Structure 1
Amino acid sequence: MAQYEEVSVHGYEEFCKAVSERKGKDIFAYFSGDKDDQGKSWCPDCVTAEPVVRGQMTHLPEGSVFIYCQVGQRAYWKDPKNDFKKTLKLSGVPTLLRYGTPQKLVEDECLKSELVRMMFTED
């Protein structure tokens, strides 16, 4: 049995709700471009990074939360005023962050399994 909780959300509002419902927990959030009906994201780096990130999830701390968040369609993501860029200060997808800390992996950093593992295992 997994020692962490996984939550999938879509959009900024759902992300905020998921975070607020889990206050006080260690939260890791992975942001990806929206997926189509075939489950493929418009973001090629997200497609490549997801198996790398998922492959390291066994290293998530006991009792932590992993939030998988689809950020929207490409046009929304490209808008510099979207909530993810404006409020969460995301600069690219994929992004993996430890919520409430400065720890963040952006774009090709998410392709490096050792960096993802360090994010999940180091305080």
Structure 2
Amino acid sequence: MPISTNFKLPSSVNALDLPTETNAAVFIAFLASTDPTTGRPWCPDVVAALPHLRAAFSDSTGPEVAFVEVGLRPEWRDPSNIYRTKWNVNSVPTLARYERISGKPQEVARLVEGEILDLKRLDKFIRGSI
């Protein structure tokens, strides 16, 4: 399945287990957690982006994306939130692309908030054209 909701995020980018093939990418979508009272993410930008992310990664032969929830609003706003401090995520949604560069895992690109809604840009991002 190209969308993983049970991905175990390592402690840092350096600990990501990435494929060794050239241009092989791992995608992580950092998303607002689901509000238990509404059953939806608390962030309206995440609600808007989710259909686009699901559609973009729905092809069973395409790349895989890990959906990682960053916490409910109070957790997310905490400056010591691990996604802010270890992953440099300051906005949700954030879609990050990681590749192995000179043998080391590195973030090579990201789309943030409304950029994910631009379907042409999202497609180029996934194909590695951005």
Per the alignment, in what secondary structure is the counterpart of residue 3 of structure 2? strand
Kept after mapping to 1: 8 A contact 2:35/2:72: no
Per the alignment, in what secondary structure is the counterpart of residue 117 of structure 1? helix
Deviation at 1:57, TM superposition (A): 1.8
1:98 aligns with 2:92: no
**With structure 2 as the length reference, what TM-score do the two structures score?**
0.74
Match of 1:15 in 2: 9
Gaps of 5+ in 2: 99-105
Per the alignment, in what secondary structure is the counterpart of residue 40 of structure 2? coil
Match of 2:120 in 1: 114
Match of 1:28 in 2: 27
Q: 1:60 to 1:85 in 2, by over 3 A?
A: farther
Deviation at 1:30, TM superposition (A): 0.6
Gaps of 5+ in 1: none
Greater than 4 Å deviation, 4+ residue runs: 19-22, 58-62
Report how many aligned residue pairs link the two structures. Answer: 115
Match of 1:41 in 2: 41
Q: Percent identity?
A: 27
Report which of the two has the higher share of helix: 1
Kept after mapping to 2: 8 A contact 1:28/1:96: yes
Q: 1:21 to 1:82 in 2, by over 3 A?
A: closer
Structure of larger gyration radius: 2
Deviation at 1:22, TM superposition (A): 4.2
Deviation sequence 1:72-92 (CA, Å, 0-9, x none):
111111111111111111110
* Pairwise CA RMSD: 2.6
Q: Aligned equivalents of 2:96 and 2:35: distance in 1? A: 24
**With structure 1 as the length reference, what TM-score do the two structures score?**
0.78
Deviation at 1:101, TM superposition (A): 2.4
Q: 1:109 to 1:90 in 2, by over 3 A?
A: same
